[in-house]
Amino acid sequence: MSFNPELCRNESEVESKLIVQYLLPQLGYTPDTWHQEVAVGSIRLDFLAFAAQVVPFVLDANSPLSVVMEAKHPKQNLNNHVPRLRHYLTSLNVRYGLLTNGKEIRIYKKLSYDVQLVFQCSGNEVETKIEEITRLIGREILKAEQSKVNSEMPIIEKNPLVQIKRQHSMKIIAVYHNKGGVGKTTTVVNLAAAIRKKGKRVLVIDLDSQANTTFATGLVKFDDEEFDDIKDSNIFHILQSEDFYSISEVARKSNFSDPEIHVVPAHIDLMKNETDLNALDYSRLILIDKLEEVNDKYDVVLIDTPPSLNLYARIALIAADYLIIPSDLKPFANQGLTNVKEFIKTVNGFRKQIKKPPIEILGVLACKISTNARFVQSTLKNRIEKISKRYDINVMDTVIYERDDLAKCAEKFLIIGDMEVADPVSVIDFKPDSTAAQEFELLAIEVLQKIGLA
């Protein structure tokens, strides 16, 4: 196995091509002795490798944690990331930390309350320097050192300090704002289509009793409630049953996008069933378990949420890894961000109790934005700046403007006999070369980069 730093164009490729495919195997770490995406309290590590794996464990001088590996984008200066690595090593009693952007590789050793640079080379030199690296952080070397320190590792029966997530590629993104009419459904369905076009397997979950996403993806093929084929199999059934109604059973194929996406539909009955569902002890956790069952089936899950602070919004934010907050940036939507932040704080408190890290906010997504030139040049810029300063939430780079094509693609229908049924398509399938389609393609690229799937 060889390594070419020129093949690393982003952080995800540094992780996969340098760390996973080259360094870990060369250093003797088998898949059961290293973990990716590790949460330790409020700290989130890219990679954690063990000399001797003992879980759970205490974070004292005898800690079996051996090496933290942090990957950065090739264009990033590693000097900017040394303080954070120092915090990781000294806080967790990890002996070594490897920091790399693919073009440069550094190894730091933990001192009492500081770190010392003990190795440095360029990405082009890594193959000739691999023996030197192995003598520092090779698993057999560190395992031998660990045996000398203590033959028995202290074990804690309860409250393990480290939560290790099972390796998987599936990323769960909730799209939420407690104000309605800000472009939430439009964002979910067209972002799903754009990500699907990138070759990712996509599942959309509609958790809003208005079922706008269910309509927008063309799953409502009846014009009379007598022929309603969704009421007996939808998201409610998934949430109210531990043993039945798996996601694979309830999800439906939607030709809204080509290639197709899968959609778990919602139903208006969600509204009247909320009280009953709220009485179930497991209602907030059942979606986590059922998503785990399809972990290997999808790359990205997008959850559309109700514009409220209700149980369904809470379930979505508990299950998700990431959050996008769509907003038209108008005054009421901006004021609503205070409620959103408070809601997230409450949800993160629950996540902490179940040993789940805080939800990661990808940012406020400016959408349904006027294309008026004067507005775009002055007002829009000011509103974006206010979001960051006043509410301390980043604004995403992509802007989704209000365009006719977005409305037209959602209004397409079919005539079946004497019945008119909705047959919407994504804006990318409707007009691939349109500006609206390009905006969602840019959004998909930004999202995939931020969640490590680019």
Report which of 258, 209, 199 is spatially closest to residue 235, judged by C-alpha positions: 209
pLDDT band at 193 (very low <50, low <70, confident <90, very high): very high
Q: What is the pLDDT of residue 33?
A: 82
Contacts of 392 (CB under 8 A, 6+ apart): none
Per-residue pLDDT tens over the stretch 123-170: 999 999 999 999 999 998 888 877 665 444 444 333 344 444 444 579
Per-residue pLDDT tens over the stretch 84-136: 898 888 878 888 999 999 999 999 999 877 889 999 999 999 999 999 999 99
Tokens of 447: 């999202």
Give the integer Cα–Cα distance in Å for 72 and 46: 10
Q: What angle do CA 207, 209, 211 make, to 5 degrees?
A: 80
Report cis status (omega within 30 of 0) of the bond before 259: yes
Positive or negative: CA dihedral 402, 404, 405, 409: positive
Per-residue pLDDT tens over the stretch 404-425: 999 899 888 777 677 777 789 9
DSSP string, 215-278: HHTT----SSGGG-SSTTSSHHHHHH-SSS--HHHH-EEETTSSS-EEEE---THHHHHHHHHH
pTM comes to 0.65
Per-residue pLDDT tens over the stretch 207-224: 999 999 999 999 987 766
115-122 and 104-110: which strand pairing? antiparallel
Domains of the chain with bracketed CATH = 5-164 (3.90.1570.30), 171-450 (3.40.50.300)
Highest mean pLDDT among 62-66, 241-245, 395-399: 395-399
Report cis status (omega within 30 of 0) of the bond before 357: no
